[in-house]
Amino acid sequence: MLLGAAGIPLSLIWDYSWECTIGVDLFWGPPHTATYISVALAGLGALSLIVKREPGIRIGFLSGPVGAWITAWGAVAFVASVLFDRWWQGAYGLGAGIWHPPQICKAVSFFAILAGTWAYCAIAQNRQQGRFKNGARTALSACSRNRPNIHADKAVRAPFFALLESPLAQRYGYVFATSLLLALINVVSVTGSYANRQHSGWFYEVACASYSLVLVAAAVSAQVRFPATMASVIYMGLWCGMVWLLPLFAAKPLTAPVYNSLDHMMPPPFPLLLVAPAIAVDLLLSYRSWPRGWVASWLKAGITGMVFGGIFVLIQWFFSEFLLSDAAKNWIFAGGGEHWPFFLKIPAQARQVFWSSAGDELNESSFLLTLFLAAASARLGLWVGQWLKGLRR
């Protein structure tokens, strides 16, 4: 499930670069095929848990963890959305818009697959918590009875699977699943995440309303130190890998009109700097002297969300100015207004400036709205995190 879930945002980034560089978007194109394989892997992983009747939610004669059911539903929804998309293109053509109904259905199915994997990774780490505490006692008991240790025998015969089932692997698997959700959020909002749009109020409102929820939930429910920070670092590593890897492959536009000539795959925009606000989230939520009660929980969420929003706006505001400068015209940052889809007609003077329509500037009112959305998202993240922390089936 985790391998398939990892392939979804990575293949979607590849698909975005493919459409911006080549333009010919066939049903069995390489990025699409990678997405199909990723969905199939995640779906088969979830199905195997349900067929084995692992403890969890029972539907009819089948039983499985709630995460497996969510992932399986997402895989089925993806197949339905692909068929819907084929009918939609036949009825309305390929130029029917970016976010038409089939694309929205696909996005929902992707989030369902990753959310189900996220939930099952939480279940796995929660189940291992008790086993880890009682592991030494179980081993001593087995030795005292002079009986073979079945779990040790399995570890000798299958060390790889024993490693995957270890408490440490389960915990960091949950952190990795969190980073995949961050990457998927960035994928669905990639057109609004260009550095040119990072002085607009809408960009910060959407970012603080989405990323805050995932990071706060991970900080509450994960069983490792600084989980939000680790998830944001892994997210940046995965995204930067695509930024640096894709331009190494030669490619050119195959459809007209071509407004921007390309001879290699176009890199996606540089990832967002979520590390600094994630550190603040981890420090605030690890503080043990918070007062108890529902009022205190709202206060904790409000402070955490507003700190997240304030740090994110401050860091990203100045970093976006760097990304539009000549200093970012290199392989590492892929900035300086150099990389644009071949079909986008954009004047030269607009490539290194900020875009914001009237009423969409980041001013006092939009900044306060950004902080409010970050606080509300953090409160929802606390609920989700507490639910994931207690999830066992």
62 plus 90 within the same structural domain? yes
In DSSP terms, 250 is beta-bridged to 264
In sign, the C-alpha dihedral spanning 291, 292, 297, 301 is positive
Q: Please, which pLDDT band fits residue 145 given cuts at 50, 70 and 90?
A: very low
For residues 16 and 289, what is the distance between their CA atoms, to the nearest angstrom?
46
pLDDT at 356: 78
pLDDT at 98: 66
Q: How far is CA 294 from CA 222, 348, 353, 371, 383, in A?
A: 22, 54, 45, 21, 12
pLDDT at 163: 67
Report which of 17, 41, 356, 32 is spatially closest to residue 205, judged by C-alpha positions. 356
Token pair 């089932």 is found at 165
**What digits encode the pLDDT tens for the residues 288-333?**
777 777 778 899 999 999 999 999 999 999 999 999 999 999 999 9
64 plus 128 within the same structural domain? yes
For residues 282 and 61, what is the distance between their CA atoms, to the nearest angstrom?
42
252 plus 176 within the same structural domain? no
User: Which tokens belong to 68?
Assistant: 């497996």
Give the range of the structural domain holding residue 48, as residue numbers without chain letter.
1-188
Q: Please, which pLDDT band fits residue 217 given cuts at 50, 70 and 90?
A: very high
For residues 27 and 156, what is the distance between their CA atoms, to the nearest angstrom?
44
386 plus 295 within the same structural domain? yes
Number of domains in the chain: 2
What are the backbone angles phi and psi of residue 354, rounded to the nearest 5°? -85, 140
100 plus 175 within the same structural domain? yes
177 plus 287 within the same structural domain? no
61 plus 122 within the same structural domain? yes
**What digits encode the pLDDT tens for the residues 36-93?**
999 999 999 999 999 887 778 888 888 899 999 999 999 999 999 999 988 888 887 7
Report which of 177, 205, 181 is spatially closest to residue 193, judged by C-alpha positions. 205
For residues 54 and 135, what is the distance between their CA atoms, to the nearest angstrom?
21
pTM for this entry: 0.91
pLDDT at 213: 97
231 plus 113 within the same structural domain? no
The answer to whether the beta carbons of residues 369 and 201 sit under 8 Å apart is: yes
**What digits encode the pLDDT tens for the residues 250-274?**
999 998 899 999 999 999 999 999 9
198 plus 157 within the same structural domain? no
183 plus 196 within the same structural domain? no
203 plus 180 within the same structural domain? no
pLDDT at 57: 86
148 plus 198 within the same structural domain? no
